[in-house]
Amino acid sequence: MEEQNFKVIPGEGVLFQILKKRFPEAIYLEFDKDNIEESLKQLEKHFKH
């Protein structure tokens, strides 16, 4: 990413902010692509409710 002058910064991306504004009543769950197994466990917990 650095070679194209992109910088990774912490926090929500602009598209996610727009999505949350458009659908404020929605429930958003985080999915960590670097820890798929744990993310799937967390998703399963939320879907059981």
In this predicted model, what pLDDT tens digit does every residue of 10-46 receive, in sequence order?
888 888 999 999 999 998 888 888 899 999 998 898 8
pLDDT at 6 over 70: yes
Long-range contacts of residues 2-10, Cβ cutoff 8 Å, at least 24 apart: none
Domain count, the chain: 1
Max Cα separation, the chain?
44
Residue 22 host element (H or E):
helix 14-22
Q: Name the DSSP letter for residue 40.
A: H
Look up tokens 């197994």; give the residue. 37
Structure token pair of residue 37: 């197994």
pLDDT at 1 over 60: no
The answer to whether 1 and 8 are in contact (CB under 8 A) is: yes
Structural domain range at position 36: 2-47
